[in-house]
Each structure stands twice: as structure tokens, then as C-alpha cells.
Chains A and B, each alone.
Chain A
Amino acid sequence: MKVIVIGNGMVGHKFCEKLLARDKKQVFQITVFGEEAHRAYDRVHLTDYFSGKTAEDLSLVDQNWYVANKIDLYLDDPVVEIDKYNKKIISSKGRELSYDYLVLATGSAPFVPNVPGTDKHGVFVYRTIDDPELITSYAFRAKKAVVIGGGLLGLEATKALKDLDLETHVVEFAPRLMPRQLDESGAEFLKSKLEHMGIHVHLNKATSSVSGKEKVEALEFKDNSRLEVDMVVISAGIKPRDELAKDCGLRTGPRGGIIVNNKLQTNDPCIYAIGECALFEGMVYGLVAPGYEMADIVASQLTGTDKVFADFDMSTKLKLLGVDVASFGDALAIENECSTIVFEDRVWGIYKRLNVSTDGKYLLGGILVGDASAYNILLQTYKNGLPLPQNAEDVFMKSGAAGKMNAGSGIAALPDAALICSCEGVSKGAICCTVKDYGIEDLDGVKKITKAGTGCGGCVPMIKDIISETLKELGKKVKPAICEHFAYRRQELFDLVKVHGIKTFDEALDKFGNGAGCEVCKPVMASILASAWNDSILKQPAIQDTNDRYLANIQKGGTYSVVPRIPGGEITPDKLIVIGRIAKKYNLYTKITGAQRIDMFGAHVSELPLIWEELVAAGFESGHAYGKALRTVKSCVGSTWCRFGLHDSVSFAIRIEERYRGLRAPHKIKSAVSGCVRECAEAQSKDFGIIATEKGWNLFVGGNGGSKPQHAVLLASDIDEETCIRYIDRFLMFYIKTADPLTRTATWMNKMEGGITYLQNVIVNDSLGIGKQLEKEMQNLVDHYKCEWKEVVESPELRKHFNHFVNLPGEKDPNVQFEALRGQKKAVDWK
């Protein structure tokens, strides 16, 4: 049986793949004709072409694929005539071939509005791989560009122009952007985001002509306004390529499109039409997912499976210029036919709208702008008609931990038939099956077998969750290896290091790893080795992250900042003068940090040992601001001065800071001590915080500030200083031994089964019987503390590493530049 495919776009190509897969008996011989000179490429990611991807990068398959699958591919050779009575076609190069079945996948062309002047130089469309090339080369001469069309494709083109550093405008006929996907408020949020990026948005504008002599000079609008521009990109919609079909007498729609039935057959049963050229029940489907579905249906029909096309869900999620935009189901439902839940956050530019059935039970559709993290779970809830939870707004509207947790349990509730990857049509059941039957345990494996997640990639987080859910179901431990070099979790590596007495990264790699290591496992191992033996991190400089390697924090421009330890935030006037003198001498920018210390910025790497030589001589120690280590123990002034203070919080803070200084951990550790319940030291926002009570101290753990602030929770109350320190010893050691890399105590506790109750049992009630052991290990670390900077300053061998040029010791990086700011200096901004 001979099948001819006209069109080698994404859908035409997908059809070949699907037919090959379904044609078990190999009865079909496929021939493909393509108009463009390129093999099928990823048109969805055409914008990537601007950022340096080549036609070959975007190609869907490599050169040999067609040959290997015995498909005849004729590129740069469009079919010019279909003779449906004799069942044959003629191509532009004169090839005459007969067929048993013909598949039209001719796609669409950009719709160019019928206004005068669109033939001028500087007017472009945005469709094929040649367009970006034409646009880029013209853009060299242009300063101001406009996109006609504020829909999905138009905004993609806008991004491309913006990336070319042009002053970018976008003109939309409708009163809002993306009128098919967004409601008024959603579009308004998107608009302000775009404007914030410097893109000019013009709404309600009907273009009347493109004016200029030979080249574009301006757009004229029907309201008599005009916009001066050097170039125009038209993206005002698509027009199905149906001319070939029309010529041979196939039925087409009045506004274009080849009319097909639910088997995708045209009025000639031997001829099918799929993708953007097809018109099904009055609708052209301009997305890739329904096109792929059509491809699969025709492949099924030809191989004897009666699968039919039904109304396809046009939900989409995409990142436009870095802004998440998603719409699903009935996104624009009319108010009184449904109830709506709306969430607006003008500070972060987040808009969410959910349309819910009037009885509040089911989700009908929705819109997400600015934060689409809940898209997948919402889409599944809608598609599978799952009942909404009572507190729907809490679950879906919040983007923090609460929303996530529920998203996790939501996956278990999905039926096997739930479509997870709509690009490739992969169901939840199929993904579970690869895990259960093929023994696949990772995303790459699932991608290879099912192709799920290989299209737009939007479903990848969900696939990952399904894999781990399924593994859990099978009773298998989900074991996230830290990287390709070590197939262990951090906790396991910690134990292995301890048990085998491993002292260096190389030994660890020889014994349990492979390859040369990487930027992920090296610092993890460095942290483990430091925590396990409290051996100086200076012995293995090459496995330390740059900050730990140079014992300072790298900043813009490649210079470093220096933070001496100021325990508890208490400092003598003499020491303040020393810091001032040194900062002046080396021309450093000084700033008080959030942690009651003084940071000195702008030191060249070769100056670091000189600066520290002076600091050490004045009695300062490293502040470990560069390390995943104890940073500071902040304090309020406490009972020595404060009229409300219950105990001496400063003295206790200094005692604690000096006890745990230099301690290496999976992440940084912050702490604070407050002298009374007024909590001026903000101890409840720290990894461990202490607050004075009438009877002693309250110890809180697991708080942090940062991007996801979280309050610490009470671990023990009214305890004395010694007990408090004992509990902190246990808590920190338990954290260091069991947490994943780069996990703060808050996240570590959030993931802990049993949460604070379990932790209380381990730390306070010693339910595991490891209390004494943890205390002993901590005491050992405390006893072995050394100031890293003192060691460096005293060792000529170590000082040698602090040079920018190996062949010109002492010479500074000539590329470093500073600017003046309020009487100090700042790094020159980077691009």
C-alpha cells in the first residue's frame, strides 16, 4: 500500500512516526513531499533560532531517520497537482507518483491582513525557519520594530524582537492581549508585565496601512494615529494551506480549511487532512497537540483501529518573555453560568482565575498569569472531572508549600486514563506501566520509552511525581542520587565516609563513585568531609565551591567581600576602628549586613591574605559568610541594658556562636537569641532560635527567612542554658548527618515524616538512643575548630593560591572596574 504525505512539518512528520509504529505487518510504503528545503523541524521553538540554534538543532530527527525507516523524502519539491480520479500526484520537479492513500499535512500560512503597504521592505511574517534569518539580518539596520498581532504567536515574535535589542511595540486589534486565552484582568496583568520589560503595548488598534517609500516608515491606524517604525512583523493569525485541495475539488470551508469528518477524511475517502490545514466542525486547530492527535487517528484508521477525533482540549501553558501564562478548559466562561474564584497579587504580578460549576463541585476552566505552577494539577482536575476539595482556593491559589503538598496527593487521585503529556498523548497509566513493567526509575528512561515530556516539556514535573509515587507504591525507595558520579544520597555518603574512614574526595570517588566529579558532588563531599572530621577545608581547595576555596564571597566583577566574625553582634570601638582603617586602606565598600556584622566589598583575590593578615592581628576571626556553615547568632541587647530584658541574651549568643563557629552543614545555619518575648532578635525566623522566659529559655527550630519565609517551631520550653546547648548539639548534628544537600533546616523538617513530633522524640526524648552519640560528635567538632584565615595568613604555601594570575603573582585583574556611589564604590553593572 502506498501512502503519500504532502507536507513535512511537525504534524506530517508525526504521522510518519505513528504509522511506522502502528504498521506492525509493514504493509505501507511511505513517500513524503516537503515544500521547504529543511527536514521537519520544531516550529514551536522557532524563537530559539534567534538565540543561536541552527536549523539542524531544531530538526526533529537526524538525517538518517527517513532512510533507516525506508521512507522516500523529497524536500524542496512541493506537490502541485492531485489527480484524485487516477489516484496520483505531480510534484513541482515533475515527479509523478500514484497512491492508495493521500495525507494532506500542508499546514498553514501566516494570515496577512488586506491593508496597503504590506509588500514594502521591512515587512515580515513569522512562520518558517527562513523568517527568523530574514528578520535578524534586517534588524541590524533597524531600531524600532512592531509586531501586528498580540496573540500567542505574536507575543513569541515580540520576544524575538526584544532579544534583538530593538525598541519593541506590539499592536493588537482586540481590546486585550491573547484574546482567545485570557480574560480582561488576566490580559491586563500580562500587559503590565510586558510594559515593565520595556515593551510598548497598543490595544484597540486596527492597522489601515503600512506607509513608507520603499521601506517601512510607519504604521497608520484607522483612528488616524500612527506609529513610526523601521520594521514590521505580521502575526495576525493563520490561514490554512488548502489551495491544492481546492484545485482538485476537495471541499473546503468558506474561510479556508479542508473539511474533514471525525476520521479526518475529506470528501474523497482515500484522502485525509491533518493539522492546521484541516477544518473539523468549523474549527481549525492551530496547536501542535491536536495536530499530533490527528496524525495518530489517521495512522490508526489506516491500520484498522477505529479511533476518531473529537473536540480537542485547547489548554495551553507557556512562558512568554519569562512570564508564565496558562489557560485551560472553559477559560472565558460567562460569570453567571459559573462561580469564579479570583486571586490577584499586584506586587508580584500574579493573576489566577478558576471557573467552578455553580454548585462549587467541579472545575470548568481557568486562567493563570505570572505563576502557573498549579497548571498541571488544575488541568487534570478539570479534564478528569475530579471533585474539588472544600478549600479549593487554599489549595490551588497559594503557590507555596501548602499548594504543593496537595498537588502531590492529587496525583494519586488521578485515574490511569488521565492524559499527562498531551503533546505525545501519554496517559498516567502508560507512565506507571514503564515504571512497573520495565523497571524504569528515572525521567530519562520514561522519556525514552513513552516519549512523554519530549514535546513542550510542561508535564515534566508531573511525570517526576508519578514516577516517585509509583516507586513508592511498589515499596521501592525513591533514591535520588546526588549526581552522575555518586549513586547515593547525601545521608548515605555521610555514613559511608564515616564507616570507611574516607578523608579525601579522591578516595571517595575511587571507592563509591565514578568519573571526575562535578560542581554538584564536590561541594557536597567537601561539606561531608568537613562535618565528619572537621578537617581543614584548606587541604582540598579544588573541591570547594569558589567561596570556600577563596574563603570569601565572590561578587559582581569577580572581586570578593570579607566578613569578619562579630559574635552576637557585639564589637568594641577599637575593633570598629580597625575595620574602618582596613576598609579605607584597601578602598573597600562597607555595609552593615542583615546579621549584625560588617561586610567589606571589592577586594581583589590577591588582597585577601593582606586584609586578613591585619584582621587576624587585630583579633578577628573568619565569619564563615562564604561557607555552608554557622553564620551569626544575632542578639538583642538583653538584660544588661534593656529594661524589659529577662536574661543576658548577648552573652548567651556569644557563647553559642563561639561554640558552633566553623561548623560545616548541608546549608548555611542562622541563629538568634532574644532576651524577652518581645523577640527583637527575630529568633523565630532562624534555623535555631532562643527566647528568654521567666524560667529559662525556649528553643525554637526550623525557621528561615529568604524566599519562602517560615516560622520556627517550639522544640523545648523553659530549659536552662546547659540543656539548651545539649539539644542544639543533637539537633544540629542530626541535621548535618541526615539532610539532603543545600537543604535548610526548615525544608528538612518539612520533609521529615512525623515532623516536629518525631524530631522532639529524637532530640528531647532520645527515642533513637543516639543523643549521647550526637553530643559526642558535636563536641569533637567543637574541639577541633581552627580559624581558616589564621591558617592561610601563616602559611606561605597557602597564600600562593590567592593570586589572579598564576604567572604574575600580585597583579590584579585589569578587567575589574568600579564606579563611585554615595562616597564609596560599587561594581560596574554586568550586561
Chain B
Amino acid sequence: MNYSITEDIQWYRACMITDVPENGGVCVKYKDEQIALFHFARRGEWYASQNLCPHRRQMTISRGMIGSQGGEPKVACPLHKKTFSLIDGRCLSDEEGCGIKTYPVKVIDQYVYIGIVDDKDSSQAICA
């Protein structure tokens, strides 16, 4: 990867807080990207990742159940229950498994924003 980390983050206004089920997720379309957005209402935290399951390349991550593993927020793909950290995207259930890309999220005035690093290399979803 040869993208520069000083690249500015573009904040995309994805939806209202109330559009996302508490302790659940939705899928956001940004240009041609599909981004899974999750609201950990119990902890007041938000996370975002690619929507593509890296295992079978299906757009399903946003429909997965979220939870924690030793305190670390995670999501389980609904298809085969592989779990991924929402902090760094690594696969938690299978050491050899491919990880997923994560995005920063912020909330301002009832709106949820997803941070996009506008760079060709990094916008490519990670896949098996």
C-alpha cells in the first residue's frame, strides 16, 4: 500500500441516529461503496466497516449481530458467523481469516458521519 496517511478524512453524513436500530446495524451507500454502520447503544459507541463479507464476498455484514469479545466490539457475519473486530477489522473467529476494512464514525447533532479516506487504494474493500 502506498497511500499517504496524511490524506484528509472526508466526513460523509450517512443518516440520522434514529435510523439505526439500537445495538444493531444498517448499510450506508457512499458512491459505489457499501458501508456497514453499527450503533452500540449500551456503550454509546458507533463503528463502521465494509459491508462485504470477505469470506464469501456477499454484502451482508451490516445485517450481522454485534457484540463484544473481551470488551472489544465485534460483528458476526450472518452467513457463516465469522466474527470481526470493529476496532481494527481483524477476523476473530479464524486466525487465518481475512479481515475487513473499518471506518471512523462521529456523531454531531443527531446525525451520523462516516469518515472516508479518499484514496483509491484504501477504498478498495478487503476480500479473500
Q: Determine whether the beta carbon of B68 is less than 8 Å from that of A53.
A: no
Contact status B128-A518, CB under 8 Å: no
Q: Would you call B14 and A806 a contact (CB within 8 A)?
A: yes
Contact A807 B14 (CB under 8 A): yes
Judged by a CB distance under 8 angstroms, whether B120 is at the interface is: no
Q: Given contacts A518-B76, A558-B59, A807-B28, is CB(A484)–CB(B21) below 8 Å? A: no
Q: Shortest CB–CB separation between residue B55 and chain A, in angstroms?
A: 9
- Residues of chain B within 8 A (CB-CB) of A57 are 95
Q: A558 contacts B28, CB within 8 Å?
A: no
B21 touches A541 (CB 8 A): yes
A556 to B71, CA, bound (A): 32
Asked if A519 is an interface residue, CB under 8 A from chain B, the answer is: yes
Bits for A316-330, please: 1 = Cβ < 8 Å to B, else 0: 000000000000000
Chain A nearest CB from B105 CB (Å) reads 13
Q: B81-99 vs A: 1/0 string, CB under 8 Å?
A: 1010000000000011010
> Given A48-B96, A515-B68, A516-B42: A554 and B63 within 8 A (CB)?
yes
Once the chains bind, are B73 and A519 in contact (CB under 8 Å)? no
Check if B15 is an interface residue, CB within 8 A of chain A: yes
Among the listed B40, B63, B65, B79, which residue makes an inter-chain contact with A522, where contact means beta carbons less than 8 Å apart? B65
Q: Which residues of B contact A804 (CB under 8 A)?
A: 27, 59
CB atoms of B65 and A545 under 8 A apart? yes
CB within 8 Å for A556 and B58 given contacts A522-B65, A807-B14: yes
Residue of A nearest to B15 (CB): A806
Question: CA–CA, A577 to B93, complex, Å?
Answer: 46
Is the pair A558, B60 in contact by a Cβ cutoff of 8 Å?
Answer: yes
Q: Is the CB of B96 within 8 A of A806?
A: no
Contact call B28/A805, Cβ cutoff below 8 A: yes
Contacts of B37 on A, CB cut-off 8 Å?
806
Across-interface contacts of B74 in A (CB, < 8 A): 518
Interface residues of A in 699-746 (CB under 8 A from B): none
CB distance from A109 to the nearest CB of B (A): 28
For B56, list chain A residues within 8 Å (CB): 830-831
Give B28-60 as 1s and 0s: 1 = Cβ < 8 Å from A's Cβ atoms.
110000100100101100000000000011111
* Contacts across chains A and B counted by CB atoms under 8 Å: 110
Could you give, for residues 4-42 of chain B, a 1 whenever the CB lies within 8 Å of some chain A CB and a 0 otherwise? Answer: 000000000011000111111011110000100100101
A790 CB within 8 Å of chain B: no
- Chain A residue contacts of B22, Cβ below 8 A: 542
Cβ-neighbour of A516 out of B27, B67, B98 (below 8 A): B67
| B67 near A554: Cβ-Cβ < 8 Å | no
Q: With the chains together, A808 CA to B29 CA distance in Å?
A: 7
Complex contact B59–A806 (CB within 8 A): no
Contacts of A830 in B (CB 8 A): 56-58
Q: Is B69 an interface residue (CB 8 A)?
A: yes
Kindly identify, within residues 513 to 533 of chain A, every residue whose CB is under 8 Å from any CB belonging to chain B: 515-519, 521-523
Interface centre among A804, A806, A815 (most CB of B within 10 A): A806
- Name the B residues within 8 Å of A550 (CB-CB): 63
A831–B79 touching, CB < 8 Å: no
B85, chain A: closest CB distance, angstroms: 13
Q: Identify the closest chain B residue to A521 (Cβ).
A: B67
Q: Which residue of A lies closest to B14 (CB)?
A: A807
* A151 CB → nearest B CB, Å: 24
Q: By the criterion CB–CB under 8 Å, are B69 and A484 in contact?
A: yes
Shortest Cβ distance from residue A481 to the other chain B in the assembled complex, whole angstroms = 14
Also in contact, A519 and B65, with CB within 8 A (given A48-B96, A52-B98, A806-B28): yes
Chain A residues with CB under 8 A of B73: 516
Chain B's interface size range is 35 or more
Interface residues on A, range: 35 or more
Is there a chain A Cβ closer than 8 Å to B66's Cβ? yes
A48 to B58, CA, bound (A): 25
Is there contact, CB below 8 Å, between A522 and B67? yes
Find B63's partner among A515, A543, A549 (CB 8 Å cutoff): A549
Residue of B nearest to A559 (CB): B58
A543–B76 Cα distance when bound, in Å, is: 12
Question: With a CB–CB cut-off of 8 A, which chain B residues contact A162?
Answer: none
By the criterion CB–CB under 8 Å, are B65 and A542 in contact? yes
Knowing A518-B65, A518-B67, the reply to whether A806 touches B19 (Cβ < 8 A) is: yes
Given A517-B67, A541-B21, A554-B79, A53 contacting B60 (CB threshold 8 A):
no
- A519 with B67, Cβ < 8 A, contacts A554-B78, A831-B128 known: yes
CA distance A779 to B29 in the complex (A): 46
When distances are taken between beta carbons in the complex, the residues of chain A under 8 Å from B63 are 546, 549-550, 554, 558
A830 and B42 CA atoms in complex are apart in Å by: 36
Q: How far is the CA of A543 from the CA of B66 in the complex (A)?
A: 9
CB distance from A257 to the nearest CB of B (A): 35
Give the distance to chain B from A800, nearest Cβ to Cβ, in Å. 8
How far is A200 from B116 in the complex, measured between Cα atoms in Å?
47
- CA separation between A556 and B28, bound complex, in Å? 21
Residue of A nearest to B76 (CB): A519
> In angstroms, how far is the closest chain A Cβ from the Cβ of B99?
9
Question: Does A96 make an interface contact (CB < 8 A)?
Answer: no
In the complex, what residues of B have CB within 8 A of residue A543's CB? Answer: 23, 65
| Closest Cβ–Cβ distance, residue B70 to chain A (whole Å) | 7
| Chain B residues whose CB sits within 8 angstroms of the CB of A541 once the complex forms | 21, 24
Contact B58 A557 (CB under 8 A): yes
| Contact B29–A811 (Cβ < 8 Å) | yes
A794 sits at the interface (CB 8 A): no
CB distance from A771 to the nearest CB of B (A): 37
B73 to chain A, nearest CB (A): 7
Q: Does A202 contact B (CB under 8 A)?
A: no
Min Cβ gap B17→A in Å is 11
Could you tell me if B26 and A815 are in contact, using CB atoms closer than 8 angstroms?
no
**Chain A, Cβ-Cβ closest to B32:** A814
Q: CB of A42 within 8 A of chain B?
A: no
Q: Taking the complex as formed, is A506 at the interface, i.e. its CB lies under 8 A from any CB of chain B?
A: yes
Contact B26 A806 (CB under 8 A): yes
Q: Which residues of A contact B66 (CB under 8 A)?
A: 516, 542
Residue in A closest to B20 when the chains form the complex, CB atoms:
A806
Query: Could you tell me if A518 and B69 are in contact, using CB atoms closer than 8 angstroms?
Result: yes
Give the Cβ gap from A518 to chain B, nearest Cβ, in Å. Answer: 3
Cα–Cα distance between A522 and B59 once the two chains are bound (Å): 22
A51 in contact (CB, < 8 A)? yes
Inside 8 A of A545's CB, which chain B residues have their CB?
A: 65, 78
CB-CB contacts below 8 Å: A412-446 with B: none
Q: Mark A534-548, 1 if CB is under 8 A from B, else 0.
A: 000000011101110
Q: Which residue of B lies closest to A518 (CB)?
A: B67
The smallest beta-carbon distance between A817 and chain B, in angstroms, is 11
Q: Which residue of B lies closest to A809 (CB)?
A: B19
Interface string of A789-829 (1 = CB under 8 A from B): 00000000000010011111001010110000000000000
A506 contact set on B, CB distance < 8 A:
23, 42
Chain A nearest CB from B20 CB (Å) reads 7
Q: Which residues of B contact A807 (CB under 8 A)?
A: 14-15, 28-29
Given A554-B78, A806-B15, the answer on whether A515 and B67 have CB atoms closer than 8 Å is yes
Instruction: Kindly report which residue of chain A lies nearest to residue B40, judged by CB atoms.
Output: A516
A88 at the A/B interface (Cβ < 8 Å)? no
Question: Is A84 an interface residue when CB atoms closer than 8 A count as contact?
Answer: no
> Whole-angstrom distance between the alpha carbons of A516 and B65 in the complex?
11
Q: State in angstroms the CA–CA spacing of A516 and B24 once bound together.
A: 11
**Which of chain A's residues have a CB closer than 8 A to the CB of B67?**
485, 515-519, 521-522
Q: Which of A518, A519, A805 contacts B29 (CB 8 A)?
A: A805
14 inter-chain pairs at a CB distance below 8 angstroms, sorted by A residue, are: A52-B98, A57-B95, A516-B42, A516-B67, A516-B68, A517-B23, A518-B76, A518-B83, A542-B23, A549-B24, A557-B58, A806-B37, A807-B15, A807-B28
5 closest A-B pairs (Cβ-Cβ)?
A: A518-B67, A542-B24, A546-B78, A519-B76, A806-B26
- Interface positions of A (Cβ within 8 A of B): 48, 51-53, 57, 484-485, 506, 509, 515-519, 521-523, 541-543, 545-547, 549-550, 554, 556-558, 801, 804-808, 811, 813, 815-816, 830-831
Given contacts A541-B21, A550-B63, A558-B63, 6 further A-B contacts (CB under 8 A): A485-B68, A515-B71, A519-B81, A549-B24, A805-B29, A813-B59
